[in-house]
Chain A
Amino acid sequence: MQLKMALAGNPNAGKTTLFNQLTGARQHVGNYPGITVDHKEGSLHHQGQKIIITDLPGTYSMTAYSAEELVARDYLVNTRPQVVINIVDASNLERNLYLTCQLLELGAPLVIALNMIDVAQARGMEIKADVLERHLRVPVVPIIARSGFGKEDLLKAALRVASEKEEWLPLDISYGEDLDIGIKELIARIDAASFMADTYVARYTAIKYLENDEQIVEKGREIDSRTAQALEEIVAGITAHTKTTLDVFPEAVIADHRYGYIKSLLRQGVITRKFDSDRLYTSDKIDKVLTNRLVGPAIMLLILFVLYKFTFGWSEAPVAWLEQGIGWLSGFVEKTLPDGLLKSMLISGIIEGVGGVLGFVPLIMFMFFGIAILEDSGYLARVAFMMDRIFRIFGLHGSSVMPFIVSGGIAGGCAVPGVMATRTLRSPKERMATLLTVPLMNCGAKLPVLALLIGAFFSENKARYMFLFTMLAWIVALLAAKLLRSTVLRGAPTPFVMELPPYRFPTMRGLLIHTWERTYQYIKKAGTVILGISVLLWAMMTYPGLPEEKSAEFAIQREAIATATAPEIVAESLAGSEELSEQAKIYNERIAEINNEEAEVALRNSIAGRIGIGLESLSQLAGFDWRTNIALVGGFAAKEVIVSTLGTAYSMGEVDTEEPMSLGQRLQKDAHWNKVVAVAALVFIMFYSPCFVTVVCIAKEASWKWAFFSMGFNTVFAFLMAVAVFQIGTMLNFG
């Protein structure tokens, strides 16, 4: 039989680390509150028993305001795991036990994993697990999740609890005379109507009514409006009473008593302090510098800039090697296979398409590695702290920094996890504004386009231009957020109360797993989605082929040139030797010109060409020709496709196939392209409709209405920007 086990605990208590220790699952370990949003599952075998472990989102309490708290609570009451491991940070027991209290009140079968006892010891605290165990009447096992210490004991205790308990046995905490009487009254009503009895014990429902828990109050009204109304009336009476006698709401009384309960517990010999807790911990010392009011922001900018230098400087060589390798492969296929559709599909569809994306793997790997360091060390939370005042101006929240950065705030990243990361935001309005604007950031998929165009047109200052375009993405996204927050998403700001987790030295293993996971996702995307799209787009650019009379016309032209040239020259050209005579070269060039013209006519005639040309009259306003249009339409499927499609579109019309040029060089030489067009294209690509996957994600997180809104709004907005750049740039002759 399978055993269901859930992991619950505060953010930063080491929950995900323990999860990895137990299951060996390869997943992200974050230092930032709320890194695990979806509950993740893993399994392990212990003493012949299969255990399914669910990693619940980290929460501070069981009142449901954020999506995460709801997920955690709903999972517990609906799935009813046989045992819940509550991981608590031993160095911060008092605060961590607040959630424990609520889990006990819910009646969940609990085992407490007392994590980071080493940290607590280093801080001069001695914690007696056995005393705590005796008072709470649940097993308490000291562990160190990072090293795996105590893991076996923990599993043993968990299995014991799972085998013992059948019924959930809630803990009763006294909330003072006034509330206790009220709770009794509520319980009587709840029991009489078996109100929500299948989900919660009566006492828990009563407490939640007193805490004014919106989700439960609302559910109550749906299930049984008469009882719900009666309960709400009783609560209103108690509230009036506590307001007049104590000048507080019942929920405050409840919280105070919970902490009172915890304090009295801890005073009974659970914690002994060996030395003064007032001394500065290393983490605080680091904060004295890194979040210093004057030096902090400067260091932050410096760190971000170093990340750029590191990513682009160090990845330059491996990117070049990969590009050479892909070029070689393409040349090899060119020489080995006979001309025809298969060869065309292999080179133009697969190698150029997928190769163009894979070529950027080193760059993305370096970037992810850098972000992983910032994330795992706890620095990102400081960035949120320092940036909140600025984000608030735009109607956002300091915590919006996280989704923004994940989506590409430090170029790289992806809007998909970014959109998902917005779940940590508590206010629906700030969350929606963040969710709709994060796709404007420069995600990892836009990076290749940026790198390509900047490399081709601004090669002298690559790092600086990348930095500039990243700043532009920030500015535009923030202004768009402000626009949304003052129009369709108007409303007051939500609380910022947030924890700054202590700095931790990231483990190499964690960083590598983290980097590899994200890079692998990128490679996998190249191997599946982008491979499919590349082939599809190749087909769209190839079919329908030229009508016979058209290709016959070109054949006649070639024939004419051949007959006009001496036969030995034609033979020399066909033999394809290395050293050609001057005349043979001229002959080859003329043939190539006709081939090129034919390819272009064929591309225009294809499905994609027709779409591209159809849009040209409009896109001309921004300086985009029909080939660019093809790439931009393809880019809706996935932004990586832009580079590969441009590659295909421009390699089809290539003049000299003997000496393959890089796409960048080809664009540089093309008459349609110049610096102004490049900037207009960059602006459009950065801000137009999010890719298909992101749109689906927005629909899932918000609604299809918002998903369509984001597609339409972004595209119109991006187009206007691109037109402005192109028109003004051309007028001022910057091209």
Chain B
Amino acid sequence: MVTIRLRNMTKNQKGTIKSIDVAGELGRRIREMGIVPGTEISVCGRAPLYDPVAVKVMEVILTLRNNEADHIFVTVD
């Protein structure tokens, strides 16, 4: 069990969200879409230029830019 940044997760890797270290608009946007500590997250894929990243959270596919994914820490096996 290690905690890494969402950006560093590989495709199809799964984990549990540990923390989100950003406040303000981005923080609120991330949380209201269901990215909150304790939730499972998996990486579905990345856009052609490796950015943004598509993740699955609560049955829904969400997209985030890599520099936004940097604020999300995930515990993986």
Q: Please list the residues of chain A having a beta carbon within 8 angstroms of any beta carbon in chain B.
A: 60-61, 63, 65, 91-92, 94-95, 98, 123, 211-212, 248-249, 251-252, 255-256, 259, 263, 277, 284, 287-288, 291-294, 296-297, 385-386, 388-390, 392, 398, 426, 494-500, 502
Contact = CB atoms under 8 A, between A and B. Distances in A.
A92 B62 CA distance: 13
B66 to A, nearest CB: 9
A496 B20 contact: no
Nearest to B67: A493
A388 B57 CA distance: 20
Closest 4 pairs between A and B when the two form their complex, measured CB to CB: A255-B31, A389-B49, A61-B32, A95-B34
A61 B30 CA distance: 11
Given A291-B54, A386-B47, A497-B68, A255 B59 contact: no
Interface in B33-54: 33-39, 44-52, 54
A251 B63 contact: no
Contacts of A92: 58-60
A357 B44 CA distance: 47
A296 B57 CA distance: 23
Most B C-beta atoms less than 10 A away, residue of A211, A251, A288:
A251
B46 A293 contact: yes
Contacts of B49: 389-390
Given A251-B23, A389-B48, A497 B61 contact: no
A91 B61 CA distance: 13
A275 to B, nearest CB: 14
B37 A256 contact: yes
B4 interface: no
- Looking at chain B's contact residues, the main secondary structure is mixed
A330 to B, nearest CB: 51
Contacts of B25: 65, 426, 494-495
A207 B53 CA distance: 32
Given A92-B60, A426-B25, A500-B62, A291 B45 contact: yes
Contacts of B27: 249, 251-252
Contact of B59 (A252, A263, A277, A500): A277
B61 A287 contact: yes
A91 B31 CA distance: 19
A284 B44 contact: yes
Given A385-B52, A497-B68, A60 B33 contact: yes
A357 B41 CA distance: 52
Nearest to A300: B48
A249 B61 CA distance: 26
Contacts of B31: 251-252, 255-256, 259
A222 to B, nearest CB: 22
Contacts of B44: 284, 287
Most A C-beta atoms less than 10 A away, residue of B39, B52, B58, B62:
B52
A65 B24 CA distance: 11
Contact of B62 (A123, A212, A297, A498): A498
Contact of A98 (B23, B32, B61): B32
A274 to B, nearest CB: 15
B44 to A, nearest CB: 7
Given A63-B32, A65-B25, A251-B28, A388 B52 contact: yes
B58 A497 contact: no
Contacts of A252: 20, 23, 27, 31
Given A252-B20, A390-B49, A496 B64 contact: yes
B47 A385 contact: yes
A291 B61 CA distance: 12
Contact of B68 (A123, A212, A294, A495): A495
B26 to A, nearest CB: 5
A495 B23 contact: no
B28 A255 contact: yes
Contacts of B62: 497-500
A498 B63 contact: yes
A261 to B, nearest CB: 12
B59 A389 contact: no
Contact of B65 (A95, A255, A277, A388): A388
A497 B47 contact: no
Given A293-B46, A293-B48, A389-B48, A95 B60 contact: yes
Contacts of A497: 26, 29-30, 33, 35, 62-64, 68
12 contacts: A65-B28, A95-B57, A249-B27, A252-B20, A259-B31, A288-B45, A293-B50, A297-B48, A494-B25, A496-B52, A496-B64, A499-B63
A293 B58 contact: no
Given A252-B27, A498-B63, A94 B32 contact: no
Contacts of B64: 495-497
A263 B49 CA distance: 36
Given A61-B28, A256-B36, A256-B37, A385 B63 contact: yes
Contacts of A500: 54, 61-63
Most B C-beta atoms less than 10 A away, residue of A60, A256, A296, A389:
A389
A123 to B, nearest CB: 8
Most A C-beta atoms less than 10 A away, residue of B30, B46, B61:
B61
